[in-house]
Amino acid sequence: MSEPSKSILVVDDDRALRELVGTVLERAGYKVGAAASAGEAMEMILAGGYDLAVVDVQLPDVSGLELVGRLRARSPDLRVVIMTGDTAPETLMKAFAERADRYLTKPFEPRALLETVARVLSAHPTQLPIEVLSAKPDWVELLVPCDRAAAERIQAFLAHLDAGLPEEVRDAVGRAFHELLMNAIEWGGNLDPARKVRISYLRLQRMLLYRIADPGSGFRFEDLPHAAVGQDPSRPMAHVSVREAMGMRAGGFGLALTRALVDELIFNEAHNEVVFVKYLE
């Protein structure tokens, strides 16, 4: 059940969908309001009392994406979930630029709606801006603050770009991207939000290519005795005893697992930039 104090505004000109989304949220324990246009939504938000808005992209007066920008300007702590059937990179990146928290692709299951809403409401309301450098269908490029919440948000959005791929490919790419992005943010950027990680996503006819460049000075595999990758192949578990001696939690398989998930993994000389490739059959 939701916290009874949480109120959600559903904005959609499709009455049937607006009522369906509202019913799902009310049954989960949320307080729900409804608006059929951007103008009506602005009036209700300005009157106060809403923690989150679920906004459709297609509205009769202005675009839902434009509405998100207006809502953010007038109510910075309001969380926003965009819902649409449009998965074009331009739409996704516009949602980023307007600082939407999450993106729901229609049609979606009630469970996906509730999980998305719960995740957004549990996050800190203050977002760090993600800069969109390119939003071409085959080339997306972003500058992301070295912040865990920003990393989670970017992963949730980029996952929509691979929606048409087989599930096993999406899963492998998602896990590899998460591991490398978190390494860049935590180790390369030291979780300093003032520092940025540059992410490039290229969709080619027969492959996906991701490039992640962090602001750190890089590393050497020889200096990672606590990690499985880069160790003597005849002693694949040697890092476990190193981690125990250092008082670190179990693990250290992240980069090794990433190598197994993708088809090519290439670091630059300093090891502060990495490219991975997944070939498409």
Main-chain dihedrals φ then ψ at residue 273, nearest 5 degrees: -140, 140
* Per-residue pLDDT, 198: 97
Residue ranges in the chain whose pLDDT is less than 70: 1-4, 125-127, 163, 221-253
Res 221: pLDDT: 66
Cβ contacts of 100-107, under 8 Å, gap ≥ 24: 100/55, 100/65, 100/68, 101/127, 101/153, 102/153, 102/156, 102/157, 103/156, 103/157, 103/160, 104/54, 105/160, 105/163
What is the value of pTM for the model shown?
A: 0.73
For the chain, the structural domain boundaries read 1-126, 128-281
Q: Residue 1: its pLDDT value, please?
A: 47
Q: What is the pLDDT of residues 72-126, one digit of tens each?
A: 888 888 899 999 877 777 777 777 777 788 888 888 999 999 999 998 898 776 6
pLDDT at position 126, please? 67
Q: What is the pLDDT of residue 54?
A: 95
Q: What is the per-residue pLDDT for 250?
A: 46
* Cβ neighbours for 75, distance < 8 A, ≥ 6 positions apart: 45, 46, 50
Distance between CA 32 and CA 144 in Å, rounded? 33
pLDDT of residue 146: 95
Q: In CATH, what number does 128-281 get?
A: 3.30.565.10
Of 1.20.1630.10, 3.40.50.2300, 3.20.20.210, 3.20.20.30, the CATH number of 1-126 is 3.40.50.2300
Q: Please give the pLDDT value at position 257.
A: 83
